[in-house]
Amino acid sequence: MKRIFHGADALLRLAFLAALGFAIFSGGAYLYAHGVKIIISPLEIISPSMRFHVKIDWKMPLVIEKYTGPQNAQELMKTLDADYNKGHGKTEVRLSRKDNGIETETYSSSLTMREIDARYPRAEWLQLLLERGIIIENLYEYASNLSHRHALAFLEDNPNLWQSGVIDIPPTDDWETYKAAYIDKLVEEIEHTKVETERVTAEIERIKPEIERTIERIKAQVERAKVQIQHSKKDVERAQKQLNSQQFEHVREQLEHARKQIARVQEALEHLKEPTPPEKPTPPEKPTPPQELTSPEKPK
Protein backbone atom coordinates (compact mmCIF):
# COMPACT_ATOMS: atom_id res chain seq x y z
CA MET A 1 0.00 0.00 0.00
CA LYS A 2 2.82 2.39 0.79
CA ARG A 3 4.32 1.98 -2.66
CA ILE A 4 0.97 2.48 -4.33
CA PHE A 5 0.24 5.73 -2.56
CA HIS A 6 3.75 6.97 -3.17
CA GLY A 7 2.62 7.31 -6.81
CA ALA A 8 -0.77 8.60 -5.73
CA ASP A 9 0.87 11.28 -3.58
CA ALA A 10 2.84 12.43 -6.62
CA LEU A 11 -0.41 12.78 -8.55
CA LEU A 12 -1.98 14.71 -5.68
CA ARG A 13 1.01 17.03 -5.69
CA LEU A 14 0.47 17.68 -9.39
CA ALA A 15 -3.19 18.45 -8.69
CA PHE A 16 -2.04 20.78 -5.92
CA LEU A 17 0.36 22.52 -8.28
CA ALA A 18 -2.36 22.92 -10.88
CA ALA A 19 -4.35 24.89 -8.34
CA LEU A 20 -1.60 26.70 -6.44
CA GLY A 21 1.70 26.58 -8.30
CA PHE A 22 3.06 29.19 -10.68
CA ALA A 23 -0.15 31.19 -10.67
CA ILE A 24 -0.59 34.69 -11.93
CA PHE A 25 -4.06 35.53 -10.72
CA SER A 26 -5.97 32.65 -12.30
CA GLY A 27 -2.80 30.57 -12.70
CA GLY A 28 -0.57 30.02 -15.63
CA ALA A 29 2.77 28.37 -16.21
CA TYR A 30 4.64 25.59 -17.88
CA LEU A 31 6.72 23.42 -15.58
CA TYR A 32 9.57 21.30 -16.93
CA ALA A 33 10.51 18.41 -14.65
CA HIS A 34 12.82 15.55 -15.62
CA GLY A 35 12.62 16.68 -19.23
CA VAL A 36 8.81 16.35 -19.32
CA LYS A 37 6.70 19.40 -20.06
CA ILE A 38 3.73 19.68 -17.72
CA ILE A 39 1.15 22.34 -18.54
CA ILE A 40 -0.17 23.86 -15.34
CA SER A 41 -3.36 25.87 -15.73
CA PRO A 42 -2.55 28.27 -18.60
CA LEU A 43 -3.85 31.70 -17.60
CA GLU A 44 -6.80 33.16 -19.43
CA ILE A 45 -7.05 36.90 -18.91
CA ILE A 46 -10.57 38.08 -18.07
CA SER A 47 -10.67 39.83 -21.42
CA PRO A 48 -11.54 37.00 -23.88
CA SER A 49 -9.38 38.57 -26.56
CA MET A 50 -6.11 38.21 -24.62
CA ARG A 51 -4.00 35.35 -23.36
CA PHE A 52 -1.24 35.63 -20.76
CA HIS A 53 1.36 32.90 -20.03
CA VAL A 54 4.30 32.58 -17.74
CA LYS A 55 6.58 29.83 -18.98
CA ILE A 56 9.18 28.56 -16.53
CA ASP A 57 12.01 26.30 -17.67
CA TRP A 58 12.38 24.38 -14.42
CA LYS A 59 14.19 21.11 -13.79
CA MET A 60 13.44 20.16 -10.20
CA PRO A 61 12.14 16.93 -8.66
CA LEU A 62 8.40 16.37 -8.46
CA VAL A 63 8.58 15.08 -4.89
CA ILE A 64 9.96 17.62 -2.42
CA GLU A 65 9.94 18.09 1.33
CA LYS A 66 7.64 20.41 3.21
CA TYR A 67 9.27 23.53 4.58
CA THR A 68 8.64 23.85 8.34
CA GLY A 69 11.06 26.66 9.19
CA PRO A 70 10.32 30.27 10.10
CA GLN A 71 8.24 32.32 7.69
CA ASN A 72 10.75 35.06 6.97
CA ALA A 73 12.66 35.88 3.82
CA GLN A 74 16.16 35.13 5.12
CA GLU A 75 15.29 31.65 6.45
CA LEU A 76 13.32 30.77 3.33
CA MET A 77 16.21 31.81 1.08
CA LYS A 78 18.71 29.98 3.26
CA THR A 79 16.73 26.74 2.97
CA LEU A 80 15.29 26.88 -0.56
CA ASP A 81 17.52 29.14 -2.67
CA ALA A 82 20.07 26.46 -3.56
CA ASP A 83 17.48 24.08 -5.04
CA TYR A 84 15.67 26.93 -6.76
CA ASN A 85 18.87 28.23 -8.38
CA LYS A 86 19.88 24.74 -9.47
CA GLY A 87 16.54 23.93 -11.07
CA HIS A 88 15.62 27.26 -12.60
CA GLY A 89 16.62 27.86 -16.20
CA LYS A 90 14.71 30.86 -17.49
CA THR A 91 11.26 32.39 -17.21
CA GLU A 92 9.42 33.73 -20.21
CA VAL A 93 6.30 35.90 -20.03
CA ARG A 94 4.13 36.14 -23.11
CA LEU A 95 0.90 37.95 -23.81
CA SER A 96 -0.95 37.63 -27.10
CA ARG A 97 -3.91 39.67 -28.22
CA LYS A 98 -6.47 38.08 -30.53
CA ASP A 99 -9.09 39.65 -32.74
CA ASN A 100 -11.79 37.33 -34.11
CA GLY A 101 -9.62 34.33 -33.27
CA ILE A 102 -6.58 35.73 -35.12
CA GLU A 103 -3.47 36.68 -33.16
CA THR A 104 -2.82 40.29 -34.00
CA GLU A 105 -0.39 41.48 -31.32
CA THR A 106 2.16 39.74 -29.12
CA TYR A 107 4.27 40.91 -26.18
CA SER A 108 7.00 38.81 -24.57
CA SER A 109 9.75 39.11 -22.02
CA SER A 110 12.53 36.76 -20.97
CA LEU A 111 14.58 38.17 -18.12
CA THR A 112 17.43 36.18 -16.63
CA MET A 113 17.56 35.37 -12.94
CA ARG A 114 20.22 38.03 -12.39
CA GLU A 115 18.13 40.64 -14.21
CA ILE A 116 14.96 39.95 -12.26
CA ASP A 117 16.84 39.86 -8.95
CA ALA A 118 18.20 43.30 -9.79
CA ARG A 119 14.73 44.64 -10.61
CA TYR A 120 12.91 43.02 -7.67
CA PRO A 121 15.33 41.61 -5.09
CA ARG A 122 14.23 38.26 -3.68
CA ALA A 123 14.43 39.17 -0.01
CA GLU A 124 12.33 42.31 -0.45
CA TRP A 125 9.76 40.58 -2.65
CA LEU A 126 9.38 37.58 -0.34
CA GLN A 127 9.11 39.77 2.74
CA LEU A 128 6.46 41.88 1.03
CA LEU A 129 4.30 38.81 0.39
CA LEU A 130 4.96 37.34 3.84
CA GLU A 131 3.80 40.58 5.47
CA ARG A 132 0.58 40.30 3.48
CA GLY A 133 -0.09 36.89 5.05
CA ILE A 134 1.25 34.61 2.32
CA ILE A 135 2.66 31.34 3.71
CA ILE A 136 5.32 29.41 1.80
CA GLU A 137 5.38 25.69 2.64
CA ASN A 138 7.55 24.09 -0.05
CA LEU A 139 9.90 24.71 -2.94
CA TYR A 140 7.09 24.91 -5.47
CA GLU A 141 5.35 27.73 -3.63
CA TYR A 142 8.69 29.45 -3.19
CA ALA A 143 9.37 29.35 -6.94
CA SER A 144 5.78 30.28 -7.74
CA ASN A 145 5.87 33.43 -5.63
CA LEU A 146 9.23 34.46 -7.09
CA SER A 147 7.88 33.96 -10.61
CA HIS A 148 5.33 36.74 -10.11
CA ARG A 149 8.22 39.21 -10.28
CA HIS A 150 8.63 38.33 -13.97
CA ALA A 151 5.02 39.19 -14.73
CA LEU A 152 5.28 42.46 -12.84
CA ALA A 153 8.47 43.44 -14.66
CA PHE A 154 6.84 42.49 -17.97
CA LEU A 155 3.93 44.81 -17.28
CA GLU A 156 6.24 47.60 -16.12
CA ASP A 157 8.15 47.39 -19.40
CA ASN A 158 4.94 47.69 -21.44
CA PRO A 159 3.13 50.82 -20.15
CA ASN A 160 0.46 50.60 -22.85
CA LEU A 161 -0.75 47.38 -21.22
CA TRP A 162 -1.24 48.62 -17.67
CA GLN A 163 -2.40 52.03 -18.85
CA SER A 164 -5.20 50.29 -20.78
CA GLY A 165 -6.40 48.16 -17.84
CA VAL A 166 -5.02 44.69 -18.47
CA ILE A 167 -5.80 41.87 -16.00
CA ASP A 168 -8.94 43.49 -14.65
CA ILE A 169 -7.02 46.25 -12.88
CA PRO A 170 -8.28 49.79 -13.46
CA PRO A 171 -6.09 51.71 -15.91
CA THR A 172 -3.84 54.41 -14.56
CA ASP A 173 -0.92 56.55 -15.65
CA ASP A 174 0.96 55.99 -12.38
CA TRP A 175 3.03 52.81 -12.25
CA GLU A 176 3.29 52.68 -8.45
CA THR A 177 -0.49 52.80 -8.17
CA TYR A 178 -0.85 50.04 -10.71
CA LYS A 179 1.86 47.93 -9.00
CA ALA A 180 0.13 48.24 -5.62
CA ALA A 181 -3.18 47.19 -7.20
CA TYR A 182 -1.42 44.29 -8.92
CA ILE A 183 0.06 43.05 -5.62
CA ASP A 184 -3.34 43.39 -3.91
CA LYS A 185 -4.91 41.31 -6.68
CA LEU A 186 -2.08 38.80 -6.51
CA VAL A 187 -2.43 38.29 -2.74
CA GLU A 188 -6.19 37.98 -3.06
CA GLU A 189 -5.90 35.29 -5.73
CA ILE A 190 -3.16 33.38 -3.88
CA GLU A 191 -5.31 33.29 -0.74
CA HIS A 192 -8.35 32.20 -2.73
CA THR A 193 -6.35 29.47 -4.42
CA LYS A 194 -4.99 28.35 -1.05
CA VAL A 195 -8.51 28.02 0.35
CA GLU A 196 -9.63 26.09 -2.72
CA THR A 197 -6.61 23.82 -2.48
CA GLU A 198 -7.33 23.09 1.17
CA ARG A 199 -10.92 22.24 0.26
CA VAL A 200 -9.77 19.86 -2.47
CA THR A 201 -7.18 18.33 -0.15
CA ALA A 202 -9.82 17.75 2.53
CA GLU A 203 -12.07 16.09 -0.04
CA ILE A 204 -9.21 13.86 -1.15
CA GLU A 205 -8.53 12.88 2.46
CA ARG A 206 -12.21 12.13 2.91
CA ILE A 207 -12.35 9.72 -0.03
CA LYS A 208 -8.87 8.31 0.52
CA PRO A 209 -10.14 5.33 2.60
CA GLU A 210 -12.53 4.41 -0.19
CA ILE A 211 -9.70 4.71 -2.69
CA GLU A 212 -7.60 2.40 -0.53
CA ARG A 213 -10.45 -0.13 -0.31
CA THR A 214 -10.92 0.07 -4.05
CA ILE A 215 -7.23 -0.55 -4.63
CA GLU A 216 -7.34 -3.55 -2.26
CA ARG A 217 -10.32 -4.95 -4.13
CA ILE A 218 -8.54 -4.51 -7.43
CA LYS A 219 -5.44 -6.21 -6.04
CA ALA A 220 -7.57 -9.15 -4.81
CA GLN A 221 -9.24 -9.40 -8.22
CA VAL A 222 -5.85 -9.43 -9.88
CA GLU A 223 -4.67 -12.25 -7.60
CA ARG A 224 -7.82 -14.27 -8.31
CA ALA A 225 -7.32 -13.71 -12.00
CA LYS A 226 -3.75 -14.99 -11.71
CA VAL A 227 -4.95 -18.16 -9.96
CA GLN A 228 -7.64 -18.68 -12.60
CA ILE A 229 -5.06 -18.26 -15.33
CA GLN A 230 -2.86 -20.91 -13.70
CA HIS A 231 -5.80 -23.32 -13.40
CA SER A 232 -6.78 -22.66 -17.01
CA LYS A 233 -3.22 -23.30 -18.10
CA LYS A 234 -3.19 -26.65 -16.30
CA ASP A 235 -6.54 -27.58 -17.81
CA VAL A 236 -5.23 -26.77 -21.27
CA GLU A 237 -2.09 -28.84 -20.69
CA ARG A 238 -4.17 -31.76 -19.37
CA ALA A 239 -6.53 -31.57 -22.33
CA GLN A 240 -3.58 -31.43 -24.67
CA LYS A 241 -2.09 -34.56 -23.14
CA GLN A 242 -5.42 -36.36 -23.32
CA LEU A 243 -5.89 -35.30 -26.90
CA ASN A 244 -2.39 -36.47 -27.79
CA SER A 245 -3.07 -39.85 -26.11
CA GLN A 246 -6.31 -40.33 -28.03
CA GLN A 247 -4.66 -39.37 -31.26
CA PHE A 248 -1.82 -41.81 -30.60
CA GLU A 249 -4.27 -44.68 -29.91
CA HIS A 250 -6.20 -43.88 -33.07
CA VAL A 251 -3.01 -43.88 -35.14
CA ARG A 252 -1.91 -47.15 -33.53
CA GLU A 253 -5.21 -48.80 -34.47
CA GLN A 254 -4.89 -47.55 -38.03
CA LEU A 255 -1.35 -48.91 -38.25
CA GLU A 256 -2.48 -52.28 -36.89
CA HIS A 257 -5.29 -52.44 -39.41
CA ALA A 258 -2.90 -51.54 -42.22
CA ARG A 259 -0.43 -54.19 -41.01
CA LYS A 260 -3.12 -56.88 -41.20
CA GLN A 261 -4.11 -55.81 -44.69
CA ILE A 262 -0.49 -55.93 -45.81
CA ALA A 263 -0.12 -59.42 -44.28
CA ARG A 264 -3.19 -60.67 -46.18
CA VAL A 265 -1.91 -59.21 -49.42
CA GLN A 266 1.51 -60.79 -48.90
CA GLU A 267 -0.10 -64.14 -48.13
CA ALA A 268 -2.10 -63.93 -51.32
CA LEU A 269 1.02 -63.09 -53.29
CA GLU A 270 2.91 -66.04 -51.79
CA HIS A 271 0.07 -68.35 -52.69
CA LEU A 272 0.13 -67.18 -56.28
CA LYS A 273 3.86 -67.85 -56.49
CA GLU A 274 3.50 -71.63 -55.60
CA PRO A 275 3.66 -74.05 -58.78
CA THR A 276 0.45 -75.96 -59.62
CA PRO A 277 1.09 -79.86 -60.00
CA PRO A 278 -0.02 -81.43 -63.39
CA GLU A 279 -3.30 -83.38 -63.37
CA LYS A 280 -3.16 -87.23 -63.94
CA PRO A 281 -4.85 -88.46 -67.21
CA THR A 282 -8.24 -90.02 -66.71
CA PRO A 283 -8.19 -93.76 -67.84
CA PRO A 284 -10.63 -94.65 -70.64
CA GLU A 285 -13.82 -96.33 -69.61
CA LYS A 286 -14.06 -100.08 -70.20
CA PRO A 287 -16.67 -101.14 -72.84
CA THR A 288 -19.81 -102.68 -71.49
CA PRO A 289 -19.97 -106.46 -72.48
CA PRO A 290 -22.88 -107.40 -74.78
CA GLN A 291 -25.83 -109.00 -73.06
CA GLU A 292 -26.94 -112.55 -74.22
CA LEU A 293 -30.23 -112.76 -75.94
CA THR A 294 -32.64 -115.25 -74.41
CA SER A 295 -35.42 -116.82 -76.40
CA PRO A 296 -38.82 -116.67 -75.04
CA GLU A 297 -40.06 -119.76 -73.35
CA LYS A 298 -42.39 -122.00 -75.37
CA PRO A 299 -45.72 -122.54 -73.93
CA LYS A 300 -46.24 -125.90 -72.52
Q: Is the model's pLDDT at 126 over the cut of 90?
A: yes
- pLDDT tens profile 75-123: 999 999 988 888 776 778 877 766 666 665 677 788 888 999 999 999 9
Inter-CA distances, 22 with 4, 30, 43, 213, 246, Å: 28, 8, 10, 34, 72
Q: How far is CA 77 from CA 58, 70, 232, 235, 284, in A?
A: 18, 11, 62, 66, 148
pLDDT at 3 over 50: no
> pLDDT value at position 246?
74
The residue extents of the domains of the chain are 2-208
Banded model confidence at residue 42, pLDDT cuts 50, 70, 90: very low
Question: In this predicted structure, what is the pLDDT of residue 15?
Answer: 40
Tens digit of pLDDT for each residue in 161-216?
A: 888 776 678 888 899 999 999 899 889 888 888 888 888 888 888 888 888 888 88
Instruction: Please enumerate, as own/partner, the contacts of 222-225 that have beta carbons within 8 Å and a separation of 24 or more.
Output: none
pLDDT band at residue 47 under the 50/70/90 scheme: very low
| Count of C-beta atoms within a 10 Å radius of residue 220 | 10
Residue closest to 40 by CA, chosen among 52, 22, 26: 22
Q: Is the pLDDT of residue 247 over 70?
A: yes
pLDDT of residue 112: 86
Beta-bridged to residue 32, according to DSSP, are: 37
pLDDT of res. 254: 80
